[in-house]
Amino acid sequence: MNQYVLITGTGREMALGFNFVRRYLEQGDHVIATVRKPSEALEKLQTQWPDTLHIQLMDIGSTESVNAAVAAVAEYAPRMDLIINNAVTTSPDTNKELEDFDLDTVMPALNVATVGPLRVIKAFLPLLKKSDNALIVNISSEAGSIGACYRSTYIDYGMAKAALNMATKTLYNKFKDDPKINIITVHPGWMRTNEGNAKAPFDPYDHAETMRLMFETKRHDKTGPIFVTYAGEEYPW
Ligand SMILES: NC(=O)c1ccc[n+]([C@@H]2O[C@H](COP(=O)([O-])OP(=O)(O)OC[C@H]3O[C@@H](n4cnc5c(N)ncnc54)[C@H](OP(=O)(O)O)[C@@H]3O)[C@@H](O)[C@H]2O)c1
């Protein structure tokens, strides 16, 4: 049976979210592609998939916006089978050392990158509960691993992803006795999602398919690792 899939942060053609949208559409799934502002790339894609691609404005930094989005989506989606929390933002100072970092820019970044996915999960929980096999995927990063941390910069980004990992584990505990819902957090690996990432090993379209297949192996897995790589292998918290 085709799924209802919601993916956040899907407006950029070269980035991961947009390529997840393409991959799920190719499976015949209903895709709710959310963006904080209109995206020409997505609108073009919709001409190819007019019946199954639903574009929804949603700023994950705003509870009001997320609640408005869930009300709109509930008009046509009978349930939600998969949520991919992909959207992220960072402080403009993310690559600076502490001495040069304007710390007042950290909280707005965390509001989107950490609280944003929780807002989405909370708002869509009633629709997730209507699915017999719901999966929530939080897109994390190796930068969110405290155990493997080696950087002295990207403080806000590392904090945001480590906190997202903790939120995932907390919700895993909440859902662990419910066979109809599962949650994982994923380090996707380094992808060629922008000019600065030109040397990265993974193409986002190819990689979205690798992860789509991996997610299916985790849908009912309540005993395996919760923080995993794109290949489904355990990553250190
Ligand atoms: N790229 C990599 O190599 C890599 C490595 C490890 C982990 N990751 C993780 O993988 C995910 C995707 O990475 P990416 O490089 O494809 O990301 P990206 O190009 O930075 O795209 C992030 C998306 O999030 C959206 N966004 C930002 N703030 C938002 C808000 N308030 N509400 C809704 N959407 C918002 C952006 O929207 P706009 O287009 O409107 O700005 C953008 O489309 C992220 O979670 C990232 O941390 C990526």
Task: For the chain, 237 residues long, give each residue's pLDDT as a single digit of tens.
Answer: 799 999 999 999 999 999 999 999 999 999 999 999 999 999 999 999 999 999 999 999 999 999 999 999 999 999 999 999 999 999 999 999 999 999 999 999 999 999 999 999 999 999 999 999 999 999 999 999 999 999 999 999 999 999 999 999 999 999 999 999 999 999 999 999 988 899 999 999 999 999 999 999 999 999 999 999 999 999 999
Distance CA 223, CA 237 (A): 16
Give the CATH number of the domain where residue 76 resides: 3.40.50.720
Give 94-154 as a DSSP string: TTS-GGG--GGGHHHHHIIIIIHHHHHHHHHHHHHTTSSSEEEEEE--GGG-STT---SS-
234 belongs to a structural domain: no
Please enumerate in sequence order all residues whose Cβ is within 8 A of that of 65, keeping only pairs 6 or more positions apart, or say none: 36, 57, 58, 59
Nearest to 84 by CA among 26, 33, 145: 33
236 belongs to a structural domain: no
pLDDT at 195: 80
What residue's CA is closest to ligand 1, atom 4?
190
**Closest ligand 1 atom, residue 85 Cα:** 45
The binding-site residues of ligand 1, defined as CB within 6 angstroms of any ligand atom, are 8-9, 11-12, 15-17, 36-37, 59-61, 86-89, 112, 139, 141, 188, 190-191, 193-194, 197, 200
53 belongs to a structural domain: yes
CA of 177 to the centre of ligand 1 (A): 32
Domain that holds residue 210: 4-229
The SS3 call for residue 7 is strand
Are 12 and 18 within 8 A, CB to CB?
Answer: yes
**Closest ligand 1 atom, residue 157 Cα:** 47
Number of folded domains that form the chain: 1
26 belongs to a structural domain: yes
Nearest to 25 by CA among 1, 46, 56, 8: 46
pLDDT at 196: 81
188 belongs to a structural domain: yes
Distance CA 8, CA 26 (A): 18
Under DSSP, the state recorded for 2 is: P
Residue 227 burial (CB count, 10 A): 22
235 belongs to a structural domain: no
pLDDT at 119: 98
pLDDT at 231: 98
What does the block give as tokens for 155?
A: 């403080």
What residue's CA is closest to ligand 1, atom 6?
141
What residue's CA is closest to ligand 1, atom 43?
9
- Look up the pTM and report it: 0.98
The pick from 18, 23, 58, 88 for probing ligand 1's pocket by mutation, whose C-beta has the most ligand atoms within 8 angstroms, reads 88
64 belongs to a structural domain: yes
Helices and strands counted in the chain (H then E):
7, 7
What does the block give as tokens for 221?
A: 């897995």
Beta bridge partners of 53: 31
Are 58 and 35 within 8 A, CB to CB?
Answer: yes
Please enumerate in sequence order all residues whose Cβ is within 8 A of that of 71, keeping only pairs 6 or more positions apart, or say none: none
178 belongs to a structural domain: yes
